[in-house]
């Protein structure tokens, strides 16, 4: 079953980028098995690349503290809440709220079933692309020896 909203995704208890550290460890063990003389060189290069990725991530977080790619924008795509409309409300064309107010039924339908605003999604997309470019640039700079 596919997750329907950001809340449905499992929460990861591990720190961020843990999988990359584990991947680097597995690759180091593989290099050690194939050519033990290259282990110091490979570990040095692997360490530099890993540190560059982490540095790029933290550079992005510190330079853009309020523009982070988060799943908040995906909440706008969630299905509208289930609301029961009584016959009286349908005839009158208004919905009664919990605080005693009334909302026009057509206005509620237009708001709940109308097109989602794509602006938050585009903002999130831009933040993710920006973060990928910054991390990639940091890795490339370290890899080229700058």
Task: Write out pLDDT tens, residues 113-146.
Answer: 666 677 777 888 888 899 999 999 999 999 998 5
Calpha distance 116→109 (Å, rounded): 13
Give the pLDDT confidence score for residue 41 in this predicted structure.
Answer: 84
Give me the pLDDT at residue 133, please. 96
Which pLDDT score is estimated for 122? 84
| pLDDT recorded at residue 86 | 75
Residue 25: the pLDDT is 86
Distance CA 139, CA 31 (A): 21
How many H helices and E strands in the chain? 5, 2
Q: How far is CA 119 from CA 65, 74, 112, in A?
A: 19, 11, 17
Per-residue model confidence as pLDDT tens digits over 55-90: 999 999 999 888 777 766 666 666 555 667 777 777
Give residue 23's pLDDT. Answer: 92
Closest among 108, 118, 109, 105 to 76, alpha carbons compared: 118
Q: What is the DSSP letter of 17?
A: T
pLDDT of residue 52: 95
Q: What pLDDT shows up at residue 51?
A: 94
Return the H-helix or E-strand segment holding 35: none
Question: Residue 97 — very low, low, confident or very high, per pLDDT cuts 50/70/90?
Answer: confident
pLDDT digits (tens, 9 = 90+) for 14-64: 888 899 889 988 987 888 899 889 888 877 887 899 999 999 999 999 998
Domain ranges of the chain: 17-143
């Amino acid at each position: 079953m596919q997750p329907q909203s950001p809340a449905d995704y499992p929460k990861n208890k591990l720190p961020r980028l843990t999988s990359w550290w584990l991947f680097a460890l597995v690759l180091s063990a593989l290099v050690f098995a194939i050519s033990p003389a290259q282990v110091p060189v490979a570990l040095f290069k692997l360490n530099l690349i890993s540190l560059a990725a982490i540095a790029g991530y933290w550079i992005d977080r510190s330079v853009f503290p309020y523009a982070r790619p988060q799943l908040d924008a995906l909440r706008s795509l969630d299905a509208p809440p289930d609301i029961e409309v009584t016959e009286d409300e349908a005839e009158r064309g208004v919905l009664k709220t919990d605080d005693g107010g009334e909302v026009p039924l057509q206005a509620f339908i237009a708001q709940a079933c109308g097109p989602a605003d794509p602006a938050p999604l585009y903002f999130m997309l831009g933040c993710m692309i920006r973060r990928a470019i910054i991390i990639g640039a940091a890795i490339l700079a370290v890899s080229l020896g700058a």
